[in-house]
Amino acid sequence: MLLGSSSSIYVSLSDRAKLVPSLSSSAPFLNSLNGSYGLRFFSKRNVGCGVVAKVSKEAENQPILGIAFEPFEEVKKELLVIPSVPHASLARQMYTDQCEAALNAQINVEYNVSYVYHAMYAYFDRDNVALKGLAKFFKESSMEERQHAEMMMEYQNKRGGRVQLQSMLMPFSEFDHSEKGDALYAMELALSLERLNNEKLLNLHSLANENNDVQFVDFLESEFLVGQVEDIKKISEYVAQLRRMGKGHGVWHFDQMLLNGGVAA
């Protein structure tokens, strides 16, 4: 209930024992007290202690004193454990060390894939290669994989884990191939990376299931697995199209399609 600005709450105690509000029918929770309203409390020894909290215009700016609130026993047990571990997370619950380590490993996978895609972007953006559509595609792919890594980092923190970034391998800087050409070779490599990433995500999903971590499973399914299958399908089609084109003029038309957002020029 909302009280006027002139109303306030004061507490008077007739028993120093720990108090609990009475919800029984014999002692209504809200009682009328000389034109005002109050909460009737009783001690845990079932000794009536009269009115404890009273709303009245006469008690302006009086402090609330003597009320003891205790958390549930389960919460108390959790809070007793936490101080024994330095810098322990207060948010961590039912999140195993195994899941935490596996997610850190997947973050490293996402960053490595992003790194390779960024190298591809730099290659196709060269003046003597000048396939701007492929450069755009791999730059966007690099940013997407980095975004995935950051989403996983945010989730790690949300669950009370600790993000531990690892070293990344130096990617190739040359993607030309004597038989396949650079466009097909790079796209086949991208398909391999997406399939590898999907395999790693499925292994992570299995681990989350083994640890009965429903929240972790839901995070992986809703944010990554569906989109990963879609990416594999899209890049598979690109590989099939480039295989038909060979290394000739068709690669330029394919590049223009990518540059124009998937619409043929």
115-156 pLDDT, tens digit each: 999 999 999 999 999 999 999 999 999 999 999 999 999 999
In this predicted model, what pLDDT tens digit does every residue of 185-232 receive, in sequence order?
A: 999 999 999 999 999 999 999 999 999 999 999 999 999 999 999 999
- Let me know if domain 97-259 sits in CATH 3.40.50.1100: no
| Residue 57: count of CB within 10 angstroms of its CB | 12
- Can you say how many angstroms the Cα of residue 160 is from the centroid of all Cα atoms in its chain? 11
Report how far residue 250's alpha carbon sits from residue 253's, in angstroms, rounded to the nearest whole number: 5
- Cα angle 117, 123, 127; round to 5: 145
Which candidate, 174, 172, 185, places its Cα nearest to that of 251?
A: 185
Judge whether residue 85 has pLDDT over 70.
no
Q: Are 19 and 69 a contacting pair, CB within 8 Å?
A: no
Binding site residue list:
110, 145, 148, 194, 228
| Residue 244: count of CB within 10 angstroms of its CB | 9
The residues spanned by each domain of the chain are: 8-70, 97-259
Report how far residue 137's alpha carbon sits from residue 152's, in angstroms, rounded to the nearest whole number: 23
pTM assigned to the model: 0.69
Binding site residue list for Fe cation:
110, 145, 148, 194, 228
| Residue 4: count of CB within 10 angstroms of its CB | 7
